[in-house]
A and B are shown apart, each in its own frame.
Chain A
Amino acid sequence: MTAQQLKNSILQMAVQGKLVPQDKNDEPASVLLERIKAEKKVSPIKDDDIPFDIPNGWEWCRLNYICEIARGGSPRPIKEFLTEAADGINWIKIGDSDKGGKYINSTKEKIKPEGMSKSRFVHAGDFLLTNSMSFGRPYILNVDGCIHDGWLVLSGYNTAYDKDFLYYMLSSRFAYYQFCDVVSGAVVKNLNSDKVANAIFPLPPLEEQKRIVAKIEELLPYIEKYDKAETKLTELNAKFPDALKKSILQEAVQGKLVPQNPDDEPASVLIERIKAEKQKLIKEGKIKKDKFEAVNITSDVIPYEIPNNWVWCNLNDVVIQVADIDHKMPPTVEGNGYPYISPLDFTDNGIDFEKAKKIGKEDFDKLAAKVKPKRNDIIFPRYGTIGVIRLVETDIDFLVSYSCCTIQNTINMDYKYVYYVLKSPLIRDEINKYINKTTQPNVGLKSIKSFLFPLPPLEEQKRIVAKIEELMPFINAITK
């Protein structure tokens, strides 16, 4: 329940006569209506028109019976009528309302007195209704002035309605729906003066109106407090699932998510195996020799202790390669071609290859020789939304623009473990460590290769991934 919903509910009670008890001694509304004795022609109210039962002593009446309703007007062209002169007339616009959105105490603009004849002059104490922005919301004038044709003015209500009661009544959902046009079932926000004039409203005894106002105003501060607390709660609940995900990933990369198994082949052996695999690929010409020099990992660099059979290393040590293609984007082709994607093509959790730019075969072949993303590789954006990674879950041929690099995983690692490490707060810290704060913040290829990487035994990687994927559906369930 939002504070607005609570307020609406209370106003509805007010309008239906359920907020305060009736008092038999109050002068009934029927007497009030007699006193008005308007000479206007007002359509009678049929039983079908009545939306709910009202208490004894109350009456239903049409708005134009108890007050004057008129539309504003604009002198044109308006620019020629605007003035700063002392005899200028207040030109009332929606932006002139006060902080509380209830009163208009002053105006920013003024028009020349000549403009008055083309507009409508209104008085302090009158109510204004607007078509724009806060549709149907009432404003009380504390100044005189002129209104444009986007406004409706309600005046002369004092005999029937207490000013504050009228204000709260016109603020209710009931009034809102009375004013809305319903055009073939759809709600159209259009302030039609006839519709407003003919709208029927309940009229309580004047004394009861005052009691209702007092009750509403007694409640308002509590609704305000409720609003603050409810907003905080909503924010707390909104932030929690993401924070929990981050927390779990951080536990995972610290070796605290699953127990270690001393029988697992230790990470120190694994890292050598990967090294050997890469040497073999270089010999076979499948990848280029890497000029990257591993950063020496000393104890003052590591952010936390890892289990005994883990090893701290660089990202480069646990992948086949981290590579990108040429900066220059090749020309697009119409129709069939090879997808050339960037983070703009990222969807919630994947990549939209259909809508991506396409390039021709020659260009593709040339660039794919540098690096062609394969299934289980990771696309790592290095410009813009840095580190918002995507897993390659397809076998189609495509390329990634220079704004990203491709991290090619080895079969000797659990690629999903690499993926989760790259999503963890640890890597967020690494990114912040290396980020180049130029006009377009980015992280260099060399920096990415240097990212600190906590390496567990392969068997433990699989256990960690399984645990994370076991937990995720539950956390996602928390997000309502």
Chain B
Amino acid sequence: MSSLGNFVKRLRDIMRNDAGINGDAQRIEQIAWLLFLKVYDTKEEDWEFDDDNYESIIPEECRWRNWAVDDGKGTAITGDALLDFINNKLFPTLKNIEVSKTTPINKAIVKTTFEDTNNYMKDGVLLRQVVNVIDELQLTDYEESHAFGEIYESILKELQSAGSAGEFYTPRAVTDFMAQMIKPQIGEKMADFACGTGGFITSWLKALESQKKTIEDREAFDTSVYGIEKKQFPYMLCVTNLLLHDIDTPRIYHDNSLLKDVLDYTEDDQFDVILMNPPYGGSEKNEVKNHFPSDLASSETADLFMSVIMYRLKQNGRAAVILPDGFLFGTDNAKVAIKKKLLSEFNLHTVIRMPHSVFSPYTSITTNILFFDRTGSTKETWFYRLDMPDGYKNFSKTKPMKLEHFDPAVEWWNNREEITIDGFDKAKKYTAQELADKNYNIDLCGFPHEEEEILPPKELIQEYQEKRASLNADIDRILEQITGILGINTEDLS
């Protein structure tokens, strides 16, 4: 167990000397595929134990146990021979594994995980050292496996500081809070259509853990999760994450959730619970909008995901979604249509405004959690502002957000009262009509801008453009009404 404590540091020290690793994101990606193969090999040991007829989908020479394990006698391949094996044998083989629709998930994931993976390391000797450190893991041991799960989480957390890779990671304090408040029940099925590294999924499993009592419970537990992830790197991390959480057939799909016509979804595609932090400011091809009804077709990916969620939430289902301020204050036509649909077909009961820098250093924008269910239309919505905890000027790598920082919100949740501080609303409820009267600008109980946060240029420009677009949309709407009254033919206007 003591070797685990230094696990991350030892790998980092070895890999620092390899010219092929440029930056934290690449380092993590390199560790990811090696870990996947190691974890998978451990899982296969279990499966072989349970089933005499088990056959691995990986050709023998490519299996971890056959090339990675070093018996200390000097026969393990290393140096250029190892590099040659990895680049010219292992990777091509795994990328070209044949899978069909009938291939069981636990075998198919080998191919889907390796589809776009890369080996970055250029030094075979260093690579051998890395492989050996990873092979030291004794994942068959329950305690070590569990402890390693924590270490794996810490590796995932490093993504938050690894530049743009930070978009794949939602701080676990937030996923835990949302999973707790959604109150999972055994037998329910949850989904995350942009699952990243699997944070919501593992938080859900953690919250559901205590309800696992019988074998049927166990079965329900294992099949309760579902995820889709568009990008290769987080997909691989997520699959490995679930394997480490003992989900032997992780129903995680390497796909783009936005490429299916929302109107084609049936009840079979719907879920009891959806927990998500959809990407925003994302880049999707324009054709993606074709999969959505025209009034809901937005250029903003977060908006499109909201529509997917609305079409994939079961009757009486519950959802919790993280969205940026732009979704709340935006009043361009698509956003108004989406929010109108949300309030008329769903019950948006709670909006929690989170403080800035929760996702720091990846981004410092303020974000919000929307809680809604499909039990009927919204009658009233409660807004609650979670303030920065005492003693914190901002969250950072060294001072991250913790689950306990949500305690004030949890306490307020079951005993909801309106709160005003220094003339600013902190908690307040609004009727659906009031929200409609605001033209669905639901930027309410927000943070008083005492200290104007300096946003980095990208977020600043994005926020400016969103606000300007909203105001322009408001102005155009008013002008349309005016020209209507004046009897001006709007076709005469360019």
Contact = CB atoms under 8 A, between A and B. Distances in A.
Contacts, number: 59
B471 A222 contact: no
B475 A226 contact: yes
B454 A250 contact: yes
B471 A251 contact: no
B464 interface: yes
Contacts of B478: 222, 225-226, 229
B479 to A, nearest CB: 7
A76 B396 CA distance: 74
Interface string B458-470: 0011001001100
Nearest to A240: B464
B56 interface: no
B485 A246 contact: no
* B interface: dominant SS: helix
A251 B364 CA distance: 13
User: Which of A218, A222, A256 has the largest number of chain B CB atoms within 10 A?
Assistant: A222
B482 A223 contact: yes
A240 B468 CA distance: 10
Contact of B485 (A6, A215, A232, A247): A215
B475 A230 contact: yes
A256 B486 CA distance: 52
A315 interface: no
Nearest to A235: B471
Contacts of B460: 243-244, 247
Contact of B482 (A226, A229, A237, A247): A226
Contacts of B461: 244
A256 B479 CA distance: 42
B146 to A, nearest CB: 32
A219 B457 contact: no
User: Which of B452, B455, B471, B479 has the largest number of chain A CB atoms within 10 A?
Assistant: B471
Contacts of A219: 482, 485-486
B470 to A, nearest CB: 9
B481 interface: yes
User: Which of B457, B472, B482 has the largest number of chain A CB atoms within 10 A?
Assistant: B457
Interface string B377-405: 00000000000000000001110000000
B456 A226 contact: no
A147 interface: no
Nearest to A9: B486
B468 A244 contact: no
A233 B485 contact: no
B457 A251 contact: yes
Interface in A210-262: 215, 218-219, 222-223, 225-226, 229-230, 232-233, 236-237, 240, 243-244, 246-248, 250-251, 256
A246 B454 contact: yes
Contacts of B456: 247, 250-251, 256
A233 B475 contact: yes
A226 B485 CA distance: 14
User: Which of B454, B460, B467 has the largest number of chain A CB atoms within 10 A?
Assistant: B454
Nearest to B465: A240
A218 B483 CA distance: 12
A247 B475 contact: no
B325 interface: no
B158 interface: no
A194 interface: no
A88 interface: no
Contacts of A6: 482
Interface residues of A, number: 30
Contacts of A248: 457
Interface string A120-136: 00000000000000000
A57 interface: no
Contacts of B345: none
Contacts of A247: 454-457, 460
A337 to B, nearest CB: 43
A222 B481 contact: yes
A365 interface: no
A436 to B, nearest CB: 20
A236 B461 CA distance: 12
A213 B474 CA distance: 26
A72 interface: no
A218 B454 contact: no
Interface in B219-254: none
Contacts of A225: 478
A305 interface: yes
Contacts of B397: 305
B475 A229 contact: yes
Contacts of B481: 222
A478 B485 CA distance: 35
B201 to A, nearest CB: 30
A330 interface: no
B1 to A, nearest CB: 29
A60 B410 CA distance: 73
Contacts of A243: 452, 460, 464
A360 interface: no
Nearest to B467: A236
B457 A233 contact: no
Interface in B356-375: 361
B485 A222 contact: yes
B454 A233 contact: no
Contacts of B464: 236, 240, 243-244
Contacts of B468: 233, 236-237
Nearest to B161: A305
Nearest to A425: B454
A408 B310 CA distance: 63
Contacts of B486: 10, 13, 19, 219
B110 to A, nearest CB: 37
Contacts of A223: 482
Contacts of B452: 243
A232 B471 contact: yes
Contact of A218 (B361, B467, B475, B485): B485
B471 A229 contact: yes
A229 B454 CA distance: 25
Contacts of B457: 244, 247-248, 251
A241 to B, nearest CB: 10
Nearest to B480: A222
A250 to B, nearest CB: 5
Nearest to B472: A233
A64 B193 CA distance: 76
Interface string A282-320: 000000000000000001000011000000000000000
A309 to B, nearest CB: 15
A63 B233 CA distance: 81
A256 B455 CA distance: 13
A242 to B, nearest CB: 11
Contacts of A222: 478, 481-482, 485
B308 to A, nearest CB: 31
Sorted nearest first, the 6 A-B pairs with minimum C-beta distance are A233-B471, A229-B474, A425-B454, A247-B460, A226-B478, A247-B457
17 contacts: A13-B486, A19-B486, A218-B485, A219-B482, A219-B486, A222-B481, A226-B475, A229-B471, A229-B475, A236-B464, A236-B471, A240-B464, A244-B464, A246-B454, A305-B361, A305-B397, A425-B454
Given A13-B486, A229-B475, A251-B456, 16 more contacts: A19-B486, A215-B485, A219-B486, A230-B475, A232-B471, A236-B464, A236-B467, A236-B468, A236-B471, A240-B464, A244-B464, A246-B454, A247-B455, A247-B457, A251-B457, A304-B396
